[in-house]
Amino acid sequence: MKKRIMVVGPTQAGKSTLANVLNDSTRLLKKTQDVIYGKNTIDTPGSYLENASMYKYLIATAQAASHVLILVDQSRLVEVYPPGFAMTFTCPVIGVITKTDLAPENVNLCIQQLKRIGITEPYFWISLKDNIGVEVLKQYLLGK
């Protein structure tokens, strides 16, 4: 079975857009209602993270993942991850700060949040609007 990169984050953090980029896909973007398996990714609904009763589905789904990407939206600081959340996964967990073109004053708060979640560096800063940082992340994950 092929290992994919699981993308986790709050609603509107850029999960599906990032999944499209990592899959070299142009899948129509709409609210993700269920887990979507792409060529290289597992795109998870934001609601799975926003409801603690759904964590078990994220943990089970991560069994098929090579990495878990934890997204933090720099433009909208919401604390949806419990402290130490990264420790629930058995594969490497990578911190990705999205929408870095917005609210640059929040960068340190994003780093603090990733540390509370239990993620160590390297962290990746990306903007899917102008593709800043995307190639570095792709290279790190896919080695392309």
Looking at domain 4-142, its CATH class is: alpha beta
Residue 144's pLDDT is what? 53
Cα separations in angstroms, 49 against 7, 25, 117, 133: 11, 24, 13, 24
Residue 33's pLDDT is what? 76
Residue 128's pLDDT is what? 86
Residue 44, amino acid: T
Residue 69's pLDDT is what? 97
Residues (pLDDT < 70) of the chain are: 1-2, 31-32, 144
